[in-house]
Chains A and B, each alone.
Chain A
Amino acid sequence: MREITLSQAVNEAIAEEMRRDPTIFLLGEDVAEAGTPFKILSGLVEEFGTERIIDTPISEPGFTGIAVGAAMTGSRPIVDLMFGDFLTLVMDQMVNQAAKIHYMSGGKLNVPMVLRTNMGATRRSAAQHSQSLHAWVCHVPGLKVAMPSSAYEAKGLLKTAIRDNNPVIIFEDKLMYQDKAEVPEEEYLIPFGEAKIHRPGRDITLIATSSMVQVAQQAAESLAQEGIEAEVIDPRTLVPLDEGTLIASVKKTSRAIVVDEGHRNYGITAELASRITEKAFYYLDAPVQRLAAMDVPIPFSPPLEDLTVPTPDRLVVAARAALKGELPHGA
């Protein structure tokens, strides 16, 4: 099968959907002429014109608000938010407007919009352009949240997001834009709320999101050399969440580590670990562990920045400790 980069996969998904449905348009900063700083959207303006690929001023609250209104009145806008860190600027549009309108209109209005943005540290972009803030929007009922872990997932999830009648936020890891994966030529969609088991195993479940799936897979390979078989699961969408697959896996392995690149405090890892202990408590043979970004502003210094994110080595150490029964137990 052909291999394409995550950035090409996103580009293809948008182009295919825009050809299929004339109500889809895209707006954001530097999306037309520049094709975004990551060159994801190159070529789209040539095909669809500046009516449907719209360069906006630096005004995130403004153009996101436009998208919410357009979605309410029959269009299917895709908002390009240049950095996930700028979520702070569009929270009112997403949280108080987009997430609530279907409910508050008694189901009369839908908001079929997609907010594409990114996440992920270690690009030396410093504290204001390196955050992974997806936990914030996962907390809000009415928003769906997808976290592609490869080019294949990025394309299938984005196409599903565009066709969804509700607001969907997609977080792409900005370090993965050039990563290649097998992506079929023919059309496919990835349904929301279906986790993917990337690697089966019997000893420990590694639940990982976005680029942390790669971290988990590398850790699983090292662990396999020690005879430890780790199961790697990617929820793919955090809202809706495929809890069943996670719980079934933990019931099988009796151990789990949750890996996510958001901050650890009150984050995704806490939520997933909590669900496991609620629903698989009597199957656990070790405390559920969490690996996440350190609770500090992401440092600009490369050696320091590298310390703040989960790595395969740290995951291996944590998994080994769980298998050997060497975890602290609070007494």
Chain B
Amino acid sequence: MVHEIIMPALGMTQDTGVIVKWCKQAGDLIATSDIIAEVETDKTTMEIEAGYDGVVAFLKAEIGIPVPVGEMIALLATTHEEAVKFAQGPAPARASEADVAASCEVLASPRGAQSELPSPLRTPATGPALQTELQPARILASPKARRLARKRGINLQTLVAQGIRQPFHVSDLDAIPSTVIEPLAVIDELQMQVTTEIFDGFHARIITQTEARPTVGWFMAALVAGAFRKATGGDWQSKVGLHLKSFDVGGDDMVMQNPDLSGLRGIREMDPETPVELVLIDLSTSRLTEYRPGQRHAVPTLIMNRTPDRRFFKFALYYPVDHLSRVVAVQLLNNLVERVEDPFIQIL
């Protein structure tokens, strides 16, 4: 008994899908809920479950080549013997491939050469498909292991490279010697400067008008979150977690979520485990002139300070390049200085 796995319709208007990754190979044992492949459509990338228990006889679809919805992408057999038989013998797949080729031939130019067919079957992968191919497969780890890895600056890819069985647990992290821990990513650095005058005027006015008495850091956090949201696509639904720190004793140190949307009075301290997209370090309340986060900093970190004459804010953004693209990083700083120069932008 064999089962065909077909290209599923993952969207209403989808005609084809692209296999971006095979999770199983011919000859592999597979269970119903196992993921056999990752498929990309114009909207999303999804994992495809086998749907049957069995052995993979062969994989038909090629990575990166669009396959019409409903077309077979792989064949599952019940036993290894059966798998071998169908992998070698005249599999139904070959027949259907021939059929498709034949029907394409009718539609194609009279020359009929397969290599010149305008069929979508032979369209090389472009754009998004290639990008997805470059992304590493999802790594499985317990929530605690993932959290600790981030904290300790351990790239889980290191564990993958060592062949440690997934999902990773805390014991796997504890087992790796510290010498193996690599920096997470190349850290890039961008700097910008902007006048403080309008911002300070605004902040002074807010203080007289609300009981909340937001610090400069809170006000800046709201602007930074707004700038970050805009730079990363402007989605109002997505959550922007931000950790505001100052190096002053008793100064700001709290995790907030969506400070750009909540209003300054609505800013609440969140659980320290709340995922954070950005760290904002406020040096302006101290006499520190510079701070560089360590090489293992996984989260983009924005340092704010004032020039000695206090007329300018200086911003330095440190970010791992695999975490934030340079385009987004520059956009973030651009948006931020715009907002510092005119906080009304934030309100609008």
Residues of A within 8 A of B (CB): 254, 281-286, 325, 329-331
CA distance A126 to B29 in the complex (A): 42
CA distance A330 to B35 in the complex (A): 9
B143: which A residues are within 8 A, CB to CB?
Answer: 281-285
B47: which A residues are within 8 A, CB to CB?
Answer: 331
A281: which B residues are within 8 A, CB to CB?
Answer: 143
Q: Encode B131-144 as 1/0 by CB contact (under 8 A) with A.
A: 00000001010111
Min distance, Cβ A319 to any Cβ of chain B, angstroms: 14
B169, A286: Cβ atoms closer than 8 Å: yes
A282, B167: Cβ atoms closer than 8 Å: no
One of B140, B144, B165, B166 near A284 (C-beta < 8 A): B144
A329, B140: Cβ atoms closer than 8 Å: yes
CA distance A299 to B36 in the complex (A): 40
Q: What are 19 A-B pairs with beta-carbon distances under 8 A?
A: A254-B142, A254-B144, A254-B170, A281-B143, A283-B143, A283-B144, A284-B143, A285-B142, A285-B143, A285-B144, A285-B169, A285-B170, A325-B165, A325-B172, A329-B166, A331-B34, A331-B35, A331-B47, A331-B140
Min distance, Cβ A283 to any Cβ of chain B, angstroms: 6
Q: Which 10 A-B pairs have the closest CB atoms?
A: A282-B273, A325-B169, A285-B144, A285-B142, A329-B167, A282-B147, A285-B170, A284-B143, A285-B169, A282-B143
Residues of B within 8 A of A (CB): 33-35, 47, 138, 140, 142-145, 147, 165-167, 169-172, 273
Given A254-B144, A284-B144, A285-B144, answer yes or no on A325-B171 (Cβ-Cβ < 8 Å).
yes
One of A284, A330, A331 near B142 (C-beta < 8 A): A284
Min distance, Cβ B92 to any Cβ of chain A, angstroms: 29
What residue of chain A has the Cβ atom nearest to residue B172's Cβ?
A325
B165: which A residues are within 8 A, CB to CB?
Answer: 325
What residue of chain B has the Cβ atom nearest to residue A277's Cβ?
B143
What residue of chain B has the Cβ atom nearest to residue A254's Cβ?
B144
A329: which B residues are within 8 A, CB to CB?
Answer: 140, 166-167
Min distance, Cβ A186 to any Cβ of chain B, angstroms: 43
What residue of chain B has the Cβ atom nearest to residue A322's Cβ?
B169
B35: which A residues are within 8 A, CB to CB?
Answer: 331
Min distance, Cβ A257 to any Cβ of chain B, angstroms: 15
CA distance A330 to B34 in the complex (A): 8
B144, A282: Cβ atoms closer than 8 Å: yes
What residue of chain A has the Cβ atom nearest to residue B145's Cβ?
A285
Given contacts A254-B170, A284-B143, 10 further A-B contacts (CB under 8 A): A254-B142, A282-B144, A283-B144, A285-B143, A285-B170, A325-B142, A325-B169, A331-B34, A331-B35, A331-B47
What residue of chain B has the Cβ atom nearest to residue A281's Cβ?
B143
Residue with the highest number of chain B CB atoms closer than 10 Å, among A282, A283, A285, A325? A285
CA distance A331 to B23 in the complex (A): 10
CA distance A286 to B165 in the complex (A): 14
B34: which A residues are within 8 A, CB to CB?
Answer: 331
Min distance, Cβ A221 to any Cβ of chain B, angstroms: 24
